[in-house]
Amino acid sequence: MEVFRSRAPLRISFAGGGTDVNPFASLYGGFVLNVTINKYAYTSIVRTKSSNVSVTSYDFEKTTEFCSQSLATLENDACFVRSVYQHLMSKASGLDVITHNDAPPGSGLGSSSAMMVSIIGAFKEMENQVMSPYDIGRLAHDIERLELKQLGGMQDQYASAFGGFNFMEFDGDSVLVNRLKIDPWVVRELEYNMILVYTQKSRLSSNIIEDQIKNVKANKADNIDAMKQIKQHAQDMKRVLLTGKTNEFGELLHEAWQQKKMMASSITNDELDEMYDVAKKAGAIGGKVSGAGGGGFMMFYCESNKKRDVVSALEKMGARVESFKFELEGVESWRNVRSEQKFKRHFSPGFLAQQ
């Protein structure tokens, strides 16, 4: 029995997030600087003799089914697998699909889009299709944003498809991904001085993004000026990373966070503000929420040898500090041959809990 697998990396967004969301991207153009990390969304598929497609999500502890021919289902919620199945399957086939993610929903690490990219990667492998990172990013975006009507921008799908450090340009629905070649010592320095911390608070990004869209449509000058400023921060951060000025990078993170909070009132709250102030007092040069805001993961860049102090201060507040490294590759897919018994044992929830 062949098992088709895929993993797609999650991302952290340094600057420019929100400028990839229309109508701002169409009216003013957007710039985003991001990087993928060694946390992933996974998909595994096996063909079955059933007439149905069974989809098990370990993240939501839920199994759903749909008919492989009619696509009929008793579930009314959006199903990523069913949407990808419609686009990439050459003929009807029964399948068992299992998905799981290294980050919780609402993390701010682009986990939802990474899952979509991962599912596309696994189906692409099974169907022997050739797709470029641009092809994968575009299909993932179109399914999420246009077909399933999930609010959001364009950076997450392309970040997960391409991987690594990327400076992205957005003009309406047009996307240009500029892959950055950062000196290895700069990458190591960033990993040494950066902290990724889970606030223990998830958030619904669509609510925050809806506020941003309303502000742009209402032509609110303060909000639009803030978004234009974080576009500039994305350009400035790209420059300091390419030239190795890492402390300036930390300072720009701080400035970008101050401007991002101006985009919509729901981006921050008292708890996040307190956590940020505590980290700054302990030795962080700057930081920001990754993603839309409101909770999820925050990142901080610390002064030399102050990382331990910042970690200690944040943990005393109940935050969970996560170890990470940068992932320089994008979505990967492969196949393996194993017995049905081994497959089921390998992907049981108990097995995952032991890892």
Q: Do residues 49 and 21 make contact, with C-beta atoms less than 8 angstroms apart?
A: no
Out of 96, 156, 211, 236, the active site residue is: 156
Structure tokens at 259: 């401007």
User: What's the rounded Cα separation, in Å, for the pair 82 and 71?
Assistant: 7
The answer to whether 156 is a known catalytic residue is yes
Q: Are strands 94-101 and 52-57 parallel, antiparallel or unpaired?
A: parallel
Q: Do residues 74 and 90 make contact, with C-beta atoms less than 8 angstroms apart?
A: no
User: What's the rounded Cα separation, in Å, for the pair 292 and 281?
Assistant: 25
Which of 248, 220, 245 shows the shortest CA–CA distance to 233? 248
Contacts of 337 (CB under 8 A, 6+ apart): 1, 2, 3
Reduce the DSSP state of residue 111 to 3 states and report it.
helix
Q: Do residues 7 and 42 make contact, with C-beta atoms less than 8 angstroms apart?
A: yes
Which of 172, 134, 167 shows the shortest CA–CA distance to 153? 172
Q: Do residues 228 and 169 make contact, with C-beta atoms less than 8 angstroms apart?
A: no
Structure tokens at 279: 């980290």
Reduce the DSSP state of residue 175 to 3 states and report it.
strand
Q: Is the peptide bond before 23 cis (omega within 30 degrees of 0)?
A: yes
Which of 214, 320, 331 shows the shortest CA–CA distance to 266? 214
The number of CA neighbours under 13 Å toward the Cβ of 202 is 9
As annotated, the active-site residues are 156
